[in-house]
């Protein structure tokens, strides 16, 4: 499932982030590329150890951790703190799959089940730079408004096409989900969204709403692997 979640950040918040990001210490993205990625990665990334990066990352992490649609879609067990990247001057990231396991700062590891990209640049700020994600229905090209987030399975082959004009700044992150299987996660998301609609129509005390909520929780109980 590819899911766009609009307006994770307001336009004002995007501007505040961008002011910080534009004055921040960018480094060659190849420094953090592993395995096959080093051959296909041509972008810049914020120094993850810089105080500013940690602050921006934490702010975004807090926002996502409390966002009901993001929680419903990703069912996070652990979230890798967001990183920031910039593509310009033909920068691109060729077709790849993200590493399956990432190391967290606390020494734990995180299995990447869900990937997400949040756009800080408006689509008209740059040429190219589409995030192209391979799905069973063919490649889907994604280029969102600033402040919007795309969520997709980490198992997907994907690429960022060359940015031929302007600059594309994004944040990206990974989630280890409570539910590893993407089809099971998608069904839980669909069920949860319907329950939310029915709850607003019938009220939380409605018997059928309670019964469906019970099925939702029992499916999570069956399918979660934390
Ligand atoms: Ni990637």
Percent of the chain residues past pLDDT 70, beyond the cut: 96
Residue 34 has pLDDT above 90, yes or no: no
| CA 226 / ligand 1 centre spacing (Å) | 24
| CA 96 / ligand 1 centre spacing (Å) | 6
Same domain (yes/no): 172, 195: no
CATH number assigned to the domain comprising residue 53 = 2.60.120.620
| CA 1 / ligand 1 centre spacing (Å) | 16
| CA 8 / ligand 1 centre spacing (Å) | 21
With 0-12 CB in 10 A as exposed, 13-18 as middle and 19+ as buried, what is 129? buried
Q: Count CA within 13 A, CB hemisphere, residue 225.
A: 10
Per-residue pLDDT tens digits for 6-21? 999 999 999 999 999 9
Same domain (yes/no): 122, 108: yes
Per-residue pLDDT tens digits for 94-127? 999 999 999 998 999 999 999 999 999 999 999 9
Same domain (yes/no): 173, 218: no
Residues 67 and 178: their CA atoms lie apart, in Å, by: 16
Per-residue pLDDT tens digits for 60-76? 999 999 999 999 999 99
Which has more pLDDT, 48 or 32? 48
Q: Average of pLDDT values for 171-190?
A: 97
- Which residue range(s) make up the domain with 187? 182-223
| CA 119 / ligand 1 centre spacing (Å) | 15
Q: Is 0.85 surpassed by the pTM of this model?
A: yes
């Amino acid at each position: 499932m590819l899911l766009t979640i609009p307006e994770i950040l307001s336009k004002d918040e995007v501007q505040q982030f961008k002011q910080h990001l534009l004055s921040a210490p960018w480094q060659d993205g190849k420094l953090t590329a592993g395995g096959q990625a080093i051959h296909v990665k041509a972008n810049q990334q914020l120094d993850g150890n810089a105080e500013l990066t940690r602050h921006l990352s934490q702010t975004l992490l807090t926002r996502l951790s409390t966002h009901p649609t993001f929680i419903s879609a990703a069912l996070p067990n652990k979230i890798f703190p967001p990183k920031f990247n910039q593509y310009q001057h033909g920068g691109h990231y060729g077709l790849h799959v993200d590493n399956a396991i990432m190391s967290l700062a606390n020494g734990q590891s995180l299995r990447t089940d869900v990937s997400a990209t949040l756009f800080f640049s408006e689509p008209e700020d740059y040429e190219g730079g589409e995030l192209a994600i391979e799905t069973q229905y063919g490649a889907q090209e994604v280029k969102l408004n600033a402040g919007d987030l795309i969520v997709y399975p980490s198992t997907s082959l994907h690429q960022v096409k060359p940015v031929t004009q302007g600059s594309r700044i994004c944040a990206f992150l990974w989630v280890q989900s409570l539910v590893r299987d993407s089809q099971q996660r998608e069904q839980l998301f669909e069920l949860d969204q319907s329950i939310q609609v029915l709850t607003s129509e019938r009220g939380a005390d409605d018997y059928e709403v309670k019964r469906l909520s019970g099925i939702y929780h029992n499916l999570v109980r069956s399918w979660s692997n934390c």
